[in-house]
Amino acid sequence: MRKPIVLVVMDGIGKGKGDFSDAVSLANTPTLDMLMTNYPNILIKAHGTAVGLPSDADMGNSEVGHNALGCGQIYSQGAKLVNESIERGEIFESDVWHEVISNCLNNNSILHFIGLLSDGNVHSNINHLKSMIIKAKESNVTKVRVHILLDGRDVPATSALEYVDDLESLLAELNCDNFDARIASGGGRMKITMDRYQANWDMVRLGWETHVLGEGRQFTSALEAIKSYREEFNVIDQDLPPFVIAENGNPVGRMNDGDSVIFFNFRGDRAIEISIAFDYQDFDKFDRKYVPKVVYAGMLQYDGDINVPKKYLVSPPNIKNTLSELLVEHRIKQYAVSETQKYGHMTYFWNGNRSGKFSDELEVFYEVPSDQVPFEQRPWMKAAEITDKVIEAIESGEYGFIRCNYPNGDMVGHTGNIDATIIGVEAVDLGLARILEAVTKKDAILIVTADHGNADDMVEIDKSGNLQMKTAHSLNPVPFIIFDKNKAYSIKPGNYGLANVAPTIARLFNLDIPKHWEESMV
């Protein structure tokens, strides 16, 4: 008889230095501490090459992390995927790139770029944008407008002007009598455009009005907008309100029939909704007021199951042979749960960027609706409700594999509020204690890990040598723990990453590990 396995992903909870910057070590976590002290565990890699990113200087993220956790393999991801396409010139040879450019040439129209302006390598990279602008000029496009989303989350919290200066320098170098490129609009990534999992369509509405319609508070430059908003609202980059660049009261980048639009983020979760707003004829999430007839393309296809967007420049990794497929093949019923903020990670990303199920009979997904309040104001989030559903699934005896995600360490960690993050981590530990009790009663196996670090590294030194709150993910490893009340598993020595988790689960189920997977840790 196979024992049921329960996997807990503590999103954003890595192993830090144990100092004043480490909200995980500052939190009261008796259950996590007990498991790390008394049961087999190892630290595993959750960033860089271990999750398919270009180098080990690249922080991991929840999307590539859950891809790796769910498939047991390492695929080229995100920035690396696009880097390879640009380096080989494939992106500029694609049919979609030619369509985007031809549309502008045939209509003497504007090529618009929308996306996150940073080099965080989580959602986007400014160098991809710069390469495309340069190529657009070489292709005889005459007008380019860039609609910038400010980061402050995957990069230092108030670094926006560095990226704006970098982009403005390039545009000034390129601009001439036959080429006119400008920043046209913008706003903080947590205020406009980049909502995910349909948690707040109002963000997307604000983005549409700002980028497409050119509606909103006007400024003469992005520099003026950012400085003005910082003085008025005293918020970090991700929370800056939307702005529109205008001349003589007229927006410089309103979109019109015949234009082309590229959304240059490569990560899917926060790109899907704005893409739906462009792509869907029968869109009903908000009043778009005016829908220009444009050629719209994403950097990648953000959701292959619902075909969004219809046009894209770089093909996403074709992830095959996932753990879910293996378990379905062996008739092992699965249950996945999280709240809205990470529900897609436990389902879509876990299953290899697929919205659907491999088996309606053998896969059950449950979404706990997230609260629409700032995370630092309710740092416990939906940890209790997620725990309730996990325990319900364990006690039912219906499932062989149960997985959940607690978003607290990541979502609260991104706010830069270390006190709130400590509470968020403690909420996860409380949930873990309850799950541990249920697992013990049912003689199930409990695996605890994380998809990347965040809460474990929340303070950094800026260029002036001053301490500031860090809102980005960390490069720290994450724990991997196995609890079984009746058996002490031996973890083999080795350098492991997130892709080794699925093979380990397969081994615990006494299943043959697919030959193209990474190795098991036991």
pLDDT single digits (tens) 142-158: 999 999 999 999 999 99
Residue ranges, CATH 3.40.1450.10, the chain: 79-314
Which architecture characterizes domain 5-74+318-508 according to CATH?
3-Layer(aba) Sandwich (3.40)
pLDDT value of residue 19:
96
Q: Mean pLDDT across the stretch 172-177?
A: 98
Residue 462 has pLDDT above 80, yes or no: no
Q: With bands split at pLDDT 50, 70 and 90, how would you rate the model's confidence at 50?
A: very high
Residue 1 has pLDDT above 70, yes or no: no
For 423-486, give the DSSP string. HHHHHHHHHHHHHHHHHHHHT-EEEEE-SSBSTT--EEE-TTS-EEE--SPB---EEEEEE-TT
pLDDT value of residue 166:
98
Residue 463 has pLDDT above 70, yes or no: no
Contacts of residue 278, defined as CB under 8 A and 6 or more positions apart, other chains included, come to 261, 294, 296, 309
Average pLDDT over all residues of the chain: 95
pLDDT value of residue 346:
97
Domain boundaries 79-314, CATH class: alpha beta
Q: With bands split at pLDDT 50, 70 and 90, how would you rate the model's confidence at 460?
A: confident
Residue 62 a catalytic site member? yes
Catalytic residue, from 21, 25, 62, 370: name it: 62
pLDDT value of residue 421:
98
Q: Mean pLDDT across the stretch 103-107?
A: 98
Q: With bands split at pLDDT 50, 70 and 90, how would you rate the model's confidence at 59?
A: confident
pTM: 0.76
Query: Which range, of 129-133, 150-154, 304-308, averages the lowest pLDDT?
Result: 304-308
Please state whether beta strands 295-300 and 445-449 pair in parallel, antiparallel, or not at all (unpaired). unpaired
334-344 per-residue burial string, b: 16 or more CB within 10 A, e: under 16: bbbbbbbbbbb
Q: Rounded distance, CA 123 to CA 379, Å?
A: 24
pLDDT value of residue 439:
98
Structure tokens belonging to residue 64? 């590539």
Q: Mean pLDDT across the stretch 58-66?
A: 90
Q: With bands split at pLDDT 50, 70 and 90, how would you rate the model's confidence at 82?
A: very high
Residue ranges, CATH 3.40.720.10, the chain: 5-74+318-508
pLDDT value of residue 203:
98
Q: With bands split at pLDDT 50, 70 and 90, how would you rate the model's confidence at 16?
A: very high
Continuous H helices in 218-315: 222-233, 272-279
Each residue of 294-303: pLDDT tens digit?
A: 999 999 988 7
Each residue of 251-281: pLDDT tens digit?
A: 999 999 999 999 999 988 899 999 999 999 9
Residue 305 has pLDDT above 70, yes or no: no
Q: Rounded distance, CA 233 to CA 58, Å?
A: 31
Residue 178 has pLDDT above 80, yes or no: yes
Q: Mean pLDDT across the stretch 316-322?
A: 87
Q: Mean pLDDT across the stretch 301-321?
A: 85
pLDDT value of residue 315:
80
Q: Mean pLDDT across the stretch 171-179?
A: 98
Q: Mean pLDDT across the stretch 14-31?
A: 97
Amino acid sitting at position 499? A
Q: Strand, coil or helix: what is 36? A: helix
Closest by CA position to 59, among listed 69, 48, 51: 48
Q: Rounded distance, CA 154 to CA 156, Å?
A: 7
Q: With bands split at pLDDT 50, 70 and 90, how would you rate the model's confidence at 464?
A: confident
